[in-house]
Chains A and B, each alone.
Chain A
Amino acid sequence: MHFEYHVESGDFINAGSTSSAVKKTLKQLNVDSSIIKRTVVALYEAEVNIVAHAYKGTIYVDIDQEAITIRLVDEGPGIPDIDKAMEMGYSTASPSVREMGFGAGMGLPNIKNNTDRMSITSKVGVGTTVEIYNKLQ
C-alpha cells in the first residue's frame, strides 16, 4: 500500500492528521497495538518537525506484510549538524513554536526511540529527508 500526504509550514491546526490517518490504516490491518503506538509517536514528531521548521513537505507511506516505511521529504532550511539535532534537549524552534509546548529538543530522540530504524539526510538551504522504518510483526 502506498499513500502520500502533503504538509504545509506553520499549519499546526492540521499537524497530526497524517499520523491519525496512518493509525487508522494500521488498525484496519490488525497490526499489534504497541507497534501502532510506536509508529504514530515517531510519525507525529516528524510531521510536526516539517510544520515547525520546513517550508513544506511530502510524507510517503509504504506498508507491506512485513514493515511500514515512511519517508518525510521537506523543502526547508536543512540541518547543519545532524548529530547535534539528535541530542536530547537541543532545539532551534522559534519562541512562538516553543510557547505551544513544542521545541523542547525531544522530537528526534522520540523518533529514534520509537522506530526500528531511522535515518536523516539533509542539505542546508535545500531540505531534509527523514526515513522511519518499523517492522509490523
Chain B
Amino acid sequence: MTVKEVVEKLNFKVFSGAEGLQNEIIGGYTGDLLSDVMGNAEASHIWITLQTHKNVMAIATLKELAAIVLVKGYKPEEETINQSNEENIPILGTDEDEFEISAKIFNLLNQ
C-alpha cells in the first residue's frame, strides 16, 4: 500500500514531503524513543510518533522509512519539514493518539 492510499483512507494531513506519497509501506513501527526506533524499525515502515524535532528525519532517512505520522495534532518543526521535503519522506498528521492510529494503520495494511 502506498503512503497516498493511507493518507486518503485515514484522512491524514500532509505537512511535507509530498513527493514521497508514492512510497510503498510494508509495515509500521510506533515509538517515541529514538534509539528504539533506530534499532527496530525497518525500511519502508511507516513510523507513528509524537516527536517533532529534526532528529526524527535523521532516523527516517537513515532507516529509509516510508513516512512519519505525528499524532494528537502535533506539528513538525520547520527544520524537520525542510529535511522531509529534501528527502521525499512525507510527514503526516492526525488528531488521534498512537494507540488508535496504530491500530487503524495495522488493519489497513493487513486487509
Contacts and interface: CB of A to CB of B under 8 A. Distances in A.
A49 to B, nearest CB: 10
A17 B55 CA distance: 10
A107 B58 CA distance: 15
Contacts, number: 64
Interface residues of A, number: 23
Interface string A16-39: 100110010000000000000100
A19 to B, nearest CB: 6
Interface stretch (B28-36, B67-75, B101-109): B28-36
A41 B39 contact: yes
Main secondary structure of the interface of A (DSSP, over half): helix
Contacts of B58: 15-16, 19-20, 44
Nearest to A22: B62
A104 B55 contact: no
B33 A101 contact: yes
A19 B35 contact: no
Which of A15, A48, A100: most chain B CB closer than 10 A?
A100
B55 A110 contact: no
Contacts of B43: 37
A106 B62 contact: no
